[in-house]
Amino acid sequence: MFRRSGRITLQARDSNTLEPTVKAPLKKRKSEPSKKKLQPAAKKQSYEIQKCWSEDGASPCVLIETPHKELEPADPSSFKQYRFKNLFIKASPIPCLSWASSDDVWIKMLNKELKYVHDRSYLQRHPKLQPNMRAILLDWLFEVCEVYALHRQTAYLAQDFFDRFMLTQENVNKDYLQLIGITALFVASKIEEIYPPKILDFAYVTDGACDIWDIQRTELHILKALNWNLCPETPISWLKLYAQVEAQKDGENFLVPQFSQETYIQITQLLDLCILDIHSLDYSYSVLAAAAFCHFSTFDVVHKVSGLTWEGVAPCVRWMSPFMDVLRSQPTPQLKIFSKVKPDARHNIQTHVAYLDLLRKSHDLRPDSPGCQMSPVAVGALLTPPSSTEKPANH
């Protein structure tokens, strides 16, 4: 027997005759939808820079969104976090860089504002939690950061991880807040620090409330819940950019800090105090940093370094005013000395003051926000890390 389908027959053909065209039989395909609609969580934003000519001859660049037509959300309320009014900005304030395009860097940062969503309404998903519990936890994390000389960026990454993780959960008990917070700091330190503390150190500062196995299990839980999205632009990264752009001089290396350390730590203290308030999550991180910067400079400078309009920053500036009034009555913060930190990098280390007392005073100046009042109960010893002299030698 022969396999007819596999035989090849050679036949003589006349070169003057046309060879018939043989069409391969079409395979019947299963019915499939022509296009798959993406879920709102998978929505991706793309942008293009358009040049808009004004009457005075200037040509500012405007960042506009170009979404796919099929990606319209079924529930518009779920997309309330996309506030495009602050994204219509002038050209990138970042000067020309030898190692990258300043426009690309700027648009990348703006894209992260849309990708990393935070919302204070997550407390509605956790009826057993109160705003003051979050404030106590973050205040303790700031204190832990100072004990181990961790960077400000590490502290704010932990805050972002905590808030975004809580947005994905429901009915979390207050007994688990410390475990979630210290695990978020553990993850943040591995991302930001060159020599992060060991997991035993993080378990140790909880005074036996959490062990290394609890932290490891919670770490996997947080990473899965955040879908491994761990690189947001924090208020600190925005503030450092604004301060560097304002102090930038021609010919100087943009990566080398040129701003005043003394002024910088005053602004960061305002940010530290404000971030303890749950209402800070009503604003994007870039606006939070711009509003804090505005309290130590003029808006013309803020507009130059951020591109934001006064309409976009004014509500946050007014919201910060009570916090700023309280800080004005306090001694001016001084740069702290850390044994293993160079003098020109001391401003990058997260420090801690009596933030909970300052927060209470700030709320006293704002009687219209009873939901944010601090609990009169004193902070327990459980959330107080030991001093460096009390730590054993193997830690």
What is the pLDDT confidence band of residue 251, given thresholds at 50, 70 and 90?
A: low
**Among 63-72, 138-147, 339-348, the range of highest mean pLDDT:** 138-147
**Among 51-60, 73-82, 335-344, 379-388, the range of highest mean pLDDT:** 335-344
State residue 202's pLDDT score.
97
The residues, ordered by sequence, that sit 6+ positions from 219 with a Cβ below 8 Å of its Cβ are 183, 186, 187
- The proportion of the chain whose per-residue pLDDT surpasses 70, expressed as a percent, equals 70
Q: Mean per-residue pLDDT for 104-117?
A: 90
Q: Which amino acid is at 86?
A: N
How confident is the model over 146-159, as pLDDT tens digits? 999 999 999 999 99
Q: What is the largest CA-CA distance in the chain?
A: 103
State residue 94's pLDDT score.
85
Structure tokens at 301: 């400078």
Q: What is the mean pLDDT of the chain?
A: 79
How confident is the model over 191-211, as pLDDT tens digits? 999 999 999 999 999 998 999
- Does pLDDT of 281 surpass 90? yes
State residue 258's pLDDT score.
83
How confident is the model over 97-110, as pLDDT tens digits? 877 888 888 999 98
Residue 277: closest CA among 122, 125, 132: 132
State residue 257's pLDDT score.
81
How confident is the model over 123-136, as pLDDT tens digits? 999 999 999 999 99
State residue 387's pLDDT score.
54
Angle among Cα 386, 389, 393 to the nearest 5 degrees reads 100
State residue 369's pLDDT score.
54
What is the pLDDT confidence band of residue 253, given thresholds at 50, 70 and 90?
A: confident
State residue 386's pLDDT score.
53
Phi, psi of 233, rounded to the nearest 5 degrees: -90, 110
- Does pLDDT of 362 surpass 60? yes
State residue 97's pLDDT score.
82
SS3 readout for 315-346: HHHHHHHHHHHHHHCCCCCCCCCCCCCCHHHH
State residue 22's pLDDT score.
45
- Does pLDDT of 346 surpass 50? yes
Q: How many CB atoms lie within 10 A of CB 344?
A: 10
In angstroms and rounded to an integer, the radius of gyration of the C-alpha atoms of the chain is 27
Angle among Cα 239, 245, 251 to the nearest 5 degrees reads 145
- Does pLDDT of 244 surpass 70? yes
**Among 3-17, 23-37, 238-252, 357-371, the range of highest mean pLDDT:** 238-252
Asked if 145 contacts 185 with a C-beta cutoff of 8 angstroms, the reply is yes
- Does pLDDT of 28 surpass 80? no
State residue 96's pLDDT score.
83
Per DSSP (E only), the strands in 3-56 are 47-51
Q: Which domains does the chain have, with CATH numbers?
A: 102-390 (1.10.472.10)
**Among 18-22, 74-78, 100-104, 277-281, the range of highest mean pLDDT:** 277-281
State residue 47's pLDDT score.
44
Q: Mean per-residue pLDDT for 335-362?
A: 93
State residue 249's pLDDT score.
78
The residues, ordered by sequence, that sit 6+ positions from 178 with a Cβ below 8 Å of its Cβ are 137, 140, 206, 209, 210, 382, 383
Residue 302 has, within 13 A of its CA and on its CB side, a CA count of 23
